[in-house]
Amino acid sequence: MIKLRVAGFLDHSTVNGEGFRSVLFLSGCHHNCPGCHNEEMQDFAYGESVAFTDILRKISKNTAIIDGVTLSGGEPFEQCAGLLPLLEELQKMSLSIWVYTGYLYEDLYQDPVKSKLLSFIDVLVDGPYQAVYRDDHLRYRGSSNQRFLKLSDGKIQKLLDY
C-alpha cells in the first residue's frame, strides 16, 4: 500500500494558491530554510503515515467546492514515490495542482526521479524561503525570490505574477 507522511490537511483554503483549494502538507524537508513558516514539518517523522487512497477519498469529498489541490510541506518532492500515484489520480479528477517547493525548477527538471512529477503540476512555486526577501504584502508566497511557474507537460509555459 502506498503511503505518504502527512503533516496536515486543509479541506479548503484561499491563501495557498488561486481559488478555493484543498491543501496537503507533507512531512520532511532537507532545505531547513531559516525562518521557515512550517518549521515543525521539516521533521520526517512529523505527522502520520496515510494511505494515498485515504488522501484521495478526502479530496474527493471536496471536489464539488474546490478549484484544485495544493501540495506544500515540508517538501513535497521528498516523497516522490508516493506522490506520483497521487498526482496521477488528481489529474484524472481535473483539479488544478499547485506545488510549493524549496527546489528550483531547473534542478527538479534535471533530476530523473523528481522531474517525473512536473508533468502533473499546473503551477510550481519554486525556490527556498529567504527571510531577507520576506514581504508581508506578497500573495501566495513567503519571500519575493520564489517564482510562480505555469507548467504544461512539465515545461515552463510562463512566469506568473501574483
Domain around 144: 3-160
> Residue 44: which CATH number?
3.20.20.70
The residue with cell 496515510 is 50
Q: What integer pLDDT is reported at residue 66 of this predicted model?
A: 97
Per-residue pLDDT reduced to its tens digit, 113-123: 999 999 999 99
The tally of domains found in the chain comes to 1
Blockwise average pLDDT, block size 10, the chain, 162 residues: 96 94 97 86 96 96 96 96 95 96 98 97 95 88 93 95 84
DSSP state string for 19-83: SSEEEEEEP--S---TT-TTGGGGSTTSSEEEEHHHHHHHHHTTTTT-SEEEEEES-GGGGHHHH
| Integer Cα distance of 73 and 100 in angstroms | 8
Q: What integer pLDDT is reported at residue 162 of this predicted model?
A: 82
User: pTM of the prediction?
Assistant: 0.94
Q: What integer pLDDT is reported at residue 37 of this predicted model?
A: 79
Burial (Cβ within 10 Å: 0-12, 13-18, ≥19) of residue 156:
middle
